[in-house]
């Protein structure tokens, strides 16, 4: 496992990229990172990485918001009892509106926070392989594999008409 070899290949369009990624994954190269200006569902499937954990943040945030919204309204009504219009202190139908808004608020904020945590953002340090063209019109594959397999992987990458292929550290 010493000194694994990294290679970067750039492509002009996402379809060659999808093909290249699929082939190197079939060759047994598991450590693949893709850079690009857009992402497609097909590419996500080909990469075969686990589902994003952001879903759990959104769910937990939503539940927290719901509980907080109901708690704020019900608790405060009992804490400071003022009967308004002869209605019960815990007027659930009226409080549902506030609980609903808080559910949405917390779910949205926590989905965003989850995204930031798992994307390691915010940061000022960009990936060493970052290139300004990756946000313009270039896609790149960074494949890390055993030195023994490097020649084979490089050949596969070259077969999808890349812009360039280079060995990285």
Partner 1 sequence: MATAAPPAESPFAKVNRDIIGALWEPDWRYRILILALLAVLGWAGFAWIYQIKTGMGTAGITHPVMWGAYITNFVFWVGIAHSGTLISAILYLLRSGWRTTINRAAEAMTIFAVMTAGLFPLIHLGRVWYFYFLAPYPNQRMLWPNFRSPLIWDFFAISTYFTISLLFWYSGLIPDLASVRDRMMGLRGRMARIKEKIYGALSLGWQGTDSQWKNYRRAYLYMAAIATPLVLSVHSVVSWDFAMAITPGWHSTIFAPYFVAGAIFSGIAMVITLSVPFRWALGLEDYITEYHYDNMAKLLLLTSLIVGYAYLAEYFMAWLSGDPIEWESFRWRAVGAYSGPFFIMVTCNVLIPLLCFWRRIRRSIKAVFVISVFVNIGMWYERFVIIVTSLAHEYAPGAWGLYKPTWVELSITAGSFAWFLLWFMLFAKTLPAISITEVKESIAEGVWSPGDKKEGA
Minimum gap (Å) between residue 148 Cβ and partner 1: 25
- In angstroms, the Cα distances linking 26 to 18, 83, 156 are 12, 70, 10
Between 59 and 151, name the residue whose CB sits nearer to partner 1.
59
Stretch near partner 1 under the rule CB under 8 A, chosen from 3-11, 23-31, 93-101, 148-156 = 93-101
With respect to partner 1, which residue has the nearer C-beta, 62 or 162?
Answer: 62
Q: Name residue 167's beta-bridge partners.
A: 7
Q: Which of 37, 147, 158, 161 binds partner 1 (CB under 8 A)?
A: 37
Question: Is residue 64 a contact residue for partner 1 (CB under 8 A)?
Answer: no
Least distance from partner 1 to the Cβ atom of residue 159, Å: 21
CB 109, CB 58: distance < 8 Å: no
- Complex with partner 1: residue 24 or 102, whichever CB lies closer: 102
Helix H or strand E segment including 47: helix 41-47
How many residues bind partner 1 (CB under 8 A)? The answer is 67
**Considering Cα of 21, then 140, then 41, then 103, what sign does the dihedral take?**
positive
Residues facing residue 143 across a β-bridge = 7, 32
Residue 55 sits in the site that holds partner 1 (CB under 8 A): yes
User: DSSP strand E in 75-160: where?
Assistant: 139-145
């Amino acid at each position: 496992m010493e000194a694994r070899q990294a290679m970067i290949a750039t492509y002009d369009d996402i379809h060659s990229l999808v093909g290249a990624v699929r082939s190197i994954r079939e060759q047994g190269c598991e450590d693949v990172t893709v850079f690009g200006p857009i992402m497609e569902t097909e590419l996500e499937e080909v990469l075969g990485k686990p589902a994003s954990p952001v879903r759990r943040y959104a769910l937990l945030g939503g539940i927290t918001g719901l509980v907080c919204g109901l708690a704020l309204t019900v608790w405060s009504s009992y804490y400071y009892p003022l009967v308004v219009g002869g209605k019960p202190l815990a007027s659930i139908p009226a409080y549902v509106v506030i609980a609903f808004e808080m559910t949405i608020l917390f779910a949205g904020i926590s989905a965003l926070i989850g995204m930031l945590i798992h994307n390691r953002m915010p940061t000022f340090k960009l990936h060493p392989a970052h290139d300004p063209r990756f946000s313009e019109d270039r896609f790149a594959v960074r494949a890390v594999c055993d030195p023994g397999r490097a020649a084979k992987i490089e050949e596969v990458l070259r077969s999808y008409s890349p812009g360039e292929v280079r060995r990285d550290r």
